[in-house]
Amino acid sequence: MSQHVTIDDVAKAAGVSVTTVSRIINGHYSASGTMLLPVETVFRPSI
């Protein structure tokens, strides 16, 4: 059984809002660099 990671899980682990994670995932880089780094540390998409 695989466990799915949600956007909420990423936001909590990175210490940012769900909105910030969503913006970063969708390529809207209006999020500041200080927010980008924690999210990139937690979330690395496998494309």
pLDDT at 30: 62
pLDDT > 90: what percent of the chain?
13
User: Is-above-0.85 flag for pTM?
Assistant: no
Q: What band does 25 get if pLDDT is binned at 50, 70 and 90?
A: confident
Q: Cβ distance 19 to 34 under 8 Å?
A: no
For residue 7, pLDDT over 70 is answered with yes
Q: Cβ distance 42 to 10 under 8 Å?
A: yes
Q: Which of 5, 2, 4, 47 is nearest to 21 (CA)?
A: 5
User: Residue type for 1, please?
Assistant: M
Query: 30 Cβ partners below 8 Å, 6+ apart?
Result: 23
Q: Cβ distance 43 to 14 under 8 Å?
A: yes
pLDDT at 2: 64
